[in-house]
Amino acid sequence: MIHNPPSTSPDASILGLGYLGRPLAQKLYEHGSRVAAVKRSLTSDDINLPIHLDTIDLNQDSVFQSANLACDTSFWRHHADKPVWFCLLPPSSLTHYADTVKQWAELARACNVQHLIFTSSTSIYGDKARECDETALPDPQTESAQQILAAEQHLLDSGVPNIDILRLGGLYCAERHPVSRLVQKQNILGGNQPVNIVHRDIAVETLFQTALKPNGKRLKNIIEPRHPIRREFYTEEAAKLGLPAPDFAPDDSRGKIIITVCDNGLSL
């Protein structure tokens, strides 16, 4: 008789099966988790995935209606029994980002979910030249950053016992690298600003490890400790990918440096 290996990571629901969600789902599954995910539409890559996958347009007003009953509906029943829920959606994917995240958190509370993990962004610190750790005051200067910060607060107010907010730096990996867009531009500004980056593999591993150890409400900046200037970093990355060096304009611009003061998250 063949026995399945014991589960060593929690069962999870993932909102957003994309750049981070797909490798995270695979990692969770490989460690014994039952995984359910929600995305907008199916692609050929989704065929025969070893997870339960639902598709829905989260911009529909009715998606999260009647949260106290929604976890009993046929759509959410594969998610309601998962103790950990991830929200990995960027603001660009939703018309009313903060409100949708709030409704998602309310649904999680109604379904007695114990742990929410949310990918925020270091953009909430703004562009002012300064050093920012988790205790720095947010200064969101774009609509997107303002929506992200509002979503963070909705999560903290949700009543779910364990909340992890991970403020990610700029994501990159070889197959989807921001330098691919930069090399198509000319006279790029901000070449002397420090980068605040995190490789996708580091972000996925952090999400996975966070799910293993819930511990109340926590906040953490997820960035690599190195902070080369943009001109140096993207020129080196372009060379690795066989691309021409980006055309940065000469300037003396300065920018923020993101650091973290904690190993396991800052309790809130």
Domain membership of residue 47 (yes or no) is yes
Number of domains forming the structure of the chain: 1
CATH code of the domain containing 53: 3.40.50.720
Domain membership of residue 239 (yes or no) is no
Give the integer Cα–Cα distance in Å for 62 and 144.
23
pLDDT tens digit sequence for 140-192: 999 999 999 999 999 999 999 999 999 999 999 988 898 998 888 989 898 89
Domain membership of residue 178 (yes or no) is no
For residue 71, which amino acid is it? C
pLDDT tens digit sequence for 70-129: 666 677 889 999 999 999 999 998 889 999 999 999 999 999 999 999 999 999 999 999
Residue ranges making up the domain that contains 138:
12-173+199-224+257-267
Domain membership of residue 247 (yes or no) is no
Domain membership of residue 246 (yes or no) is no
pTM over 0.85: yes
| DSSP for 81-141, written as a single string | T-SEEEE---GGG-SSHHHHHHHHHHHHHHTT--EEEEEEEGGGG-SSSSEE-TTSPP---
Are 28 and 21 in contact, with CB atoms under 8 Å apart?
Answer: no
- Strand-strand pairing, 266-267 and 217-222: antiparallel
- Percent of the chain residues past pLDDT 70, beyond the cut: 90
| Mean pLDDT in residue range 213-237 | 94
Residue 197 has pLDDT above 90, yes or no: yes
Alpha carbon separation from 146 to 91, 120, 136, 141, 268 (Å, rounded)? 10, 11, 16, 7, 20
Domain membership of residue 240 (yes or no) is no
- Percent of the chain residues past pLDDT 90, beyond the cut: 69
pLDDT value, residue 147: 97
Domain membership of residue 147 (yes or no) is yes
Domain membership of residue 212 (yes or no) is yes
The pLDDT mean for the chain works out to 89
